[in-house]
Structure 1
Amino acid sequence: MAHSDSDDYSQHDHAGHGDHDHGREGHDHAPSVTEGNIRRIRFVFALTAGYAVIQAIGGWWSGSLALIADSGHMVSDAAALLLALIAYRVAARAADSTRTYGFHRVRVLAALANGAALLVLVSWILWEAIERFREPTEVLAGPMLTVAVVGLLVNIAGFLILRMGSQNDANLRGAFLHVLGDLLGSVGAIAAAIGIMLTGWSMLDPILSVLVALLVVRSAWGLVYESIQVLLQATPRGIEAGEVVDDLRSLPGIAEVGHFHAWTLTDETRIATVHVVPSPGADPLSLPALVAERLKIRHAIEHATVQVDPPGDIEVCA
C-alpha cells in the first residue's frame, strides 16, 4: 500500500490523543482494579470451589446425579470467578516490548479451556442421566437435602458479599450473575430432595440433573464461542462494519473511509483501525481526533488508530 511522505498525510491517532506508544510507558488497556472487589471475588471463589468439592462428594455418597451435576455447575462458576481474578492480576502487569497489548489474552485462553472441559462434563452427566432413566438408582434424599441446604447457604452468602461491591465493575457483575444461577440451582436440588422424600420417585434426580446440565452447557458454550470469536479477532458484538464506515463518511471533512477493522482485546476492550481521506480543503491534522471521538461515543470503541491517506489511496488498496 503506497503512502505519501507528506506530513499532512501521515497522521495517526490512538483514541484521539495523538501518537501513542504501546510499550511500557504507553496506553493502559487494563480494566480498572478495585481492591474491595478483588477481596470479595477471592472470598466467594474460595466458598464456591470448596463447596463444589463437598457437593461432588455428597452426590456420590447419596447417589444423587443432580448434586453431581450441580457440582459441575459450581465448578463452572468457580472457574468464572477465577477468570475474573486472573483478569485483575493481568491488569496489574504492564505491557512490554514483545507483548505490547499486555497479557489480556491469557484470560481468553483460560475461558476456552474451561468451556471445553465443561462440555465434556455435561456429556457425561447427560449419558449418566439416560442410564438412570433406563435403570433407576436409589437416591438418599436425606443426605441430598442436607448438602443442598448447605449449598443454598453458601450461595446466599456469596450473593450478599458480591452485591455489596461496585456494580460498575464488569468482572464483579458477571460473578454476581454466576452466583445467582448457583443459588437457583440449590433451590432446585432442595425441591427435588423434598419431592423424593415425599413421593419416593427417584426419577426427580436425573430430571433435575438434565436441567442443571442444560444450564451448564449454555454457559460453557458461551465461553467457548466468545473465546473463539475473540481469538479469531471477529468484529465485536453490536458493531456492523458497513454501518460504522457509513457513519464515519458522514463526518465533516472526510471524503472517503476504508480499511476499517475492529476486534476485541478482551471481553471489555474494543480496538479499531481505519483509514480516511480528507475532503478538499479539510485539515488532515484534525481528522484522527474527530474520527476517534466518533468511534468512542457512538460505537463504544475506546481505542482507535486512525490513518489519514492522500486521495486515491483507499480506492487503490480497498
Structure 2
Amino acid sequence: MSPDHHHGHGAHDHEAHSHGVTADTDRRWLSLALALITVFIAVESVIAFISGSLALLSDAAHMLTDAASIVLALVAMRLSARPARGGYTFGLKRAEILSAQANGLSLLLLAAWLGYEAIHRIIDPPEIEGWMVLVTALVGIVVNLIATWCISKANRTSLNVEGAYQHILNDLFAFIGTAVAGLIMLTTGFARADGIATLLVVVLMIKAGYGLVRDSGRVLLQAAPDGLDPDAIGDRLASHDGVAEVHDLHVWAITSGHPTLSAHVIVEEGEDCHAVRGELDGLLVQNYGITHSTLQVDHAPELHDVLTAARPKATVSAHCPDPHGPAHFAEPHDH
C-alpha cells in the first residue's frame, strides 16, 4: 500500500498576501459604516421617543443590531486571520460563520418582537408626530444608502460580511417604509400606517435572517457548498484515466469561499499514482475551484492483497468498516 497525501495550495504566499490586503480593506469599509450608523442611532432614538413612532423606534433597534453585526464581523475578521496553532488546526476561520449565524438569529428575534409590537399598534394606534417620522426617515435613507454602499465595497462572498450587509440593506428598506408611513400620517392622519410599515419590514427581516441561518448552518454541518455536487465530482474523478475507484469522498467548506475536498483514490495496476494524483488536483482546481484537496492514493492490487490477507472476503471498496458515502467506479459493475 502506498498512501499519497497531497494538499493543493497553489500560489499560497500570494493568496495569503492578497487575503490580508482584502481583509484590511474590508475592515476599513465596515468601520466607516459603523461610525455612520452609531451616530444616527443616537439621534433617531431621541426623535422616536419624542414622536411616539414605533416605526422609528424599530428602525433604531434594527440599526443597533446593524452596529452589533458590524462589530461581530470586525471581531470575526480578526479571529479568522489568526494562524492555525495548537488544537485549532484550521485556525479560527469559522469565527466568520458563527458571526453570520449570530446576525441571522438576531434578525429573526428582532423580527418577532417588532411583529408583536406592530400588531398591538395596529389594534390600538397611539398619537404620532407624522412630520418628525417623515424627516427622520428621509435622513435615515441617506445614511443607510451610504452605509450600504460602504459594505458593498467589501468582500460579500464572505458570509460574515454578507450578514452585516443584509442587516444594513434591510434597514434601508425599513426607512423607505417608514418614510411612506410618515407621509401618510402627515397627510391623512392614518396612525395605523406606522404599524403596517413595521410589519412589512418584519417580513424582510425574516427572509434575510432565515437565509443567513440556513447558509451558516450548512457550513457548520459540513454540507457541500452550493454549486458543488459530491456525486458528480466523484463520478468525474473516477472517470479519469488510470483511476479504478474513488470513495470516502468528502466536500465541505472551512469557511465561506474556501471549499475543501478529501478522498481515497484507487489507481489501476501499472499506473503512476503520483502523476494521477497531480492530474486530479489540477482537475479539481480548474473544474470546481477546489484549491485545498487531500487525496490518499493507493494501487488496486496492493490494497487488495493487504485487505484479503486481513479479511479473505474483503473487496477494495470495503477497506473501511464504516464507509463514508457511496463509492464511485471507473466502469459500473456489481458490488
Show the 5 A alignment for 1:139-154: 139-154=128-143
Partner of 1:290: 279
Partner of 1:77: 66
Structure 1 residues 36 and 16, CA, compared in 2 at 3 Å: closer, same or farther? closer
Partner of 1:197: 186
CA contact (8 A) 1:64 1:140 kept: yes
Aligned equivalents of 2:136, 2:208: Cα separation in 1: 24
Higher relative contact order, chain-length normalized (CA < 8 Å, sep 6+) = 1
Question: 1:204 is matched by which residue type in structure 2?
Answer: A
From 39, 47, 53, the counterpart of 2:28: 39
From 307, 314, 317, the counterpart of 1:314: 317
Partner of 2:331: none
Partner of 1:211: 200
Aligned equivalents of 2:210, 2:161: Cα separation in 1: 21
Which structure: larger Rg? Answer: 2
Show the 5 A alignment for 1:8-157: 9-15=2-8, 31-34=19-22, 35-157=24-146
Aligned equivalents of 2:227, 2:65: Cα separation in 1: 26
Structure 1: where are the runs of 5+ without partners? none
TM-score (norm 1): 0.83
Aligned equivalents of 2:254, 2:97: Cα separation in 1: 9
From 221, 242, 258, the counterpart of 1:269: 258
Partner of 2:294: 305
Structure 1 residues 196 and 157, CA, compared in 2 at 3 Å: closer, same or farther? same
Question: 2:319 is matched by which residue type in structure 1?
Answer: V
CA contact (8 A) 2:166 2:208 kept: no
Range with bigger deviation, 190-199 or 220-229: 220-229
CA contact (8 A) 1:69 1:212 kept: no
Partner of 1:240: 229
Paired positions, count: 303
CA contact (8 A) 2:268 2:299 kept: no
From 228, 233, 250, the counterpart of 2:239: 250
Tell me, yes or no, if structure 1 residue 225 matches structure 2 residue 217.
Answer: no
Aligned equivalents of 1:127, 1:181: Cα separation in 2: 18
SS in 2 for 1:13: coil
Aligned equivalents of 2:283, 2:61: Cα separation in 1: 44
Q: What's the C-alpha RMSD, in Å, of the aligned pairs?
A: 2.9
Aligned equivalents of 1:205, 1:234: Cα separation in 2: 42
Structure 1 residues 168 and 90, CA, compared in 2 at 3 Å: closer, same or farther? same
CA contact (8 A) 1:73 1:212 kept: no
SS in 2 for 1:301: coil
Structure 1 residues 223 and 30, CA, compared in 2 at 3 Å: closer, same or farther? farther
CA contact (8 A) 1:276 1:308 kept: yes
TM-score (norm 2): 0.79
